[in-house]
Amino acid sequence: MKNIQKKVSFIEICLLIFNICFIFFITGLDARLKNIIVILFLIIIFILSVYLLSYKKDNNFDRERAIKIELAIFIGFLFIYFLLGLFVGFSKTSFSISFNEMLNGVIPNFLILLLTELIRYVLFKSIYKSKKNIIIITILLIILNISLEFKLNYLNNHLLLFVYITTIVFPVIANELLCSYSTYNFGLLPTIIYKSVIKLYIYIIPIFPNLTDYLYSVFNIIIPFISYISFRKYIVKVDRLTRNTGRDKVYRIGIMTIPIMVFTIVITALVSGLFSYQLIAIASGSMEPTYTKGDALLLYKDSPDNIEVGDILVYKDGKKIVAHRVIKKTEYKNNLYFYTKGDANNAPDDGYIEKENVIGRGINIVKYIGYPTVWLNEFFRKE
């Protein structure tokens, strides 16, 4: 056992050294060259792992059930994903334009994920009872997958770094944790199928909904979360039943999962502004005491024709979103013009707001929940 531990530790050190070299020396290279280097390294690590630890056949008893659970979750995800497209529209993927471009995207990504999961499987099979090594290997694979999407200029731009963390880092962590859990409990095949679908469907499907990066990353966190809950509940049921009863129990997601899913979807839809209602954070005190800095305003994307004097008008002012009260509304040559003022301000706002810049009408206040957004915006302005 100690001999196996030393061999696994050696492979872990190799992964750590490569991660460090990748971040400092390979990150800035061309994407194609970068992929080639990663693939060659993973091939070497896989061959080394098999040579030192041997390859054990994947004959996990539960893998077929795990695959069925995954497929059910993906079907539900794709249904919701493309249902949203009916509201926000669809776009072609860049990979649907050229067959060569599609292959350049699919093949390197598939080889990287395949080799990564083969290495994970070989190592996990060798140190099945060592949770410490399982955690170390998972962390190293997380770092590797995060590094693949990292660019050095992110360090000089707080906004790009924030987008990278929310759209790349968090989803990668969620998916790699699930892959380790899946490999540990169900073997190699379910993990490869899961990761292939989650990483490659965007390359294969010719159209996709016009969702924000934020909403896309939320999906990539929710899916592994639901998968984990599903796998966990199945394992608990198996622990309670003997495997040889011959009875095929119907799997159902626990009732507590449903409100969590609904809450997450509703909040995401509100923040992203997908539908008629949207939540925006209040970043100033210009409307006190009606609402204060750190509150969130729920707006309705009403027609400008329905907005009257006294209503809270939400509109675009360059890159900013402003929510002030309408003090005057005029019509000139079939065009509407709004004049606004903050309740706490001594003077009206400069100029007027045209119909094209109107987002909607403020209808309700949610206290305090806008503070995280306000703090982030203030942090970016310090750059």
CATH code of 315's domain: 2.10.109.10
Q: Report how far residue 313's alpha carbon sits from residue 300's, in angstroms, rounded to the nearest whole number.
A: 10
- Indicate the DSSP class of residue 153: G
> In whole angstroms, what is the distance from residue 88 CA to residue 273 CA?
10
pTM tops 0.75? no
Res 247: pLDDT: 41
Whether the Cβ atoms of residue 114 and residue 189 lie closer than 8 Å to each other: no
Task: Give residue 317's pLDDT band: very low, low, confident or very high (50, 70, 90).
Answer: confident
Query: Is 336's pLDDT higher than 60?
Result: yes
Token pair belonging to 238: 């198996």
337 and 200 in one domain? no
Q: Please say if the pLDDT value at position 175 is more than 90.
A: yes
Cβ–Cβ under 8 Å, residues 181 and 174: no
How crowded is the C-beta side of 40, counted as CA atoms within 13 Å?
7
Alpha helix stretches (DSSP H) within the chain: 2-21, 31-53, 63-88, 99-126, 131-148, 158-164, 170-186, 188-204, 213-240, 257-272, 371-381
In a shared domain, residues 32 and 172 = yes
pLDDT single digits (tens) 197-255: 888 777 666 666 766 666 777 788 888 998 998 888 877 776 655 444 444 443 444 44
Token pair in block for residue 88: 């926000």
101 in Cβ contact with 29 (< 8 Å): no
Looking at the structure of the chain, the number of domains it has is 2
Q: Is 375 helix (H, G, I), strand (E, B) or coil?
A: helix
Enclosing domain of residue 303:
277-381
Quick one: pLDDT band at residue 91, thresholds 50, 70, 90? Answer: low
Closest CA to 33 of 46, 44, 43, 22: 22
User: Do 219 and 368 belong together in one domain?
Assistant: no
CA distance 116 to 15: 11
> Which pLDDT belongs to residue 263?
56
Are 281 and 265 part of one and the same domain? no
**pLDDT greater than 60 at residue 293:** yes
Residues 119, 76 within the same domain: yes
Give CA torsion, residues 109, 112, 114, 116, to 10 deg: -140
pLDDT of residue 248: 42
Q: 């790699």: which residue's tokens?
A: 176
Q: Tens digits of per-residue pLDDT, 149-173? A: 887 777 777 667 777 887 888 889 9
Domain boundary among 252, 272, 292: 272
> 244 with 305, same domain?
no
Query: Are 204 and 289 within one domain?
Result: no
Closest CA to 38 of 119, 142, 145: 145
Give the residue, 158 or 23, on which the prediction is more confident: 23
CA dihedral 256, 259, 264, 265 (to 10 degrees): 130
Residues 217 and 326 in one domain: no
pLDDT at 232: 86
What is the pLDDT, as a whole number, of residue 246?
A: 42
pLDDT band at 380 (very low <50, low <70, confident <90, very high): low
- The last residue of a domain, from among 272, 287, 322: 272
Distance between CA atoms of residues 318 and 35, nearest Å: 40
**Higher pLDDT among residues 143 and 250, named by residue:** 143
| 294 plus 163 within the same structural domain | no
Buried/exposed 24-61: b ≥16 CB within 10 Å, e otherwise = eebbeeeeeebbebbbebbeebbebbeebbeeeebebe
**Do β-strands 320-332 and 312-317 pair in parallel, antiparallel, or remain unpaired?**
antiparallel
Across the chain, mean pLDDT equals 81
- One domain, residues 321 and 188: no
Closest by CA position to 152, among listed 315, 26, 12: 26
Q: What is the pLDDT of residue 252?
A: 44
Burial class (CB in 10 A: 0-12, 13-18, 19+), 163: middle
Q: Average the pLDDT over 126-144 and give the result.
A: 91
d(CA 110, CA 119): 14
- Is residue 363 a contact partner of residue 300, using CB atoms and an 8 Å limit? yes
Q: What amino acid positions are annotated as catalytic residues?
A: 286, 324, 349
Report the distance separating Cα 365 and Cα 266, nearest Å.
17
Domain match, 159 and 218 both: yes
Q: Which pLDDT value is given to residue 214?
A: 66
Among the candidates 272, 307, 325, a domain finishes at 272
pLDDT at 374: 61
33 has a pLDDT exceeding 80: yes
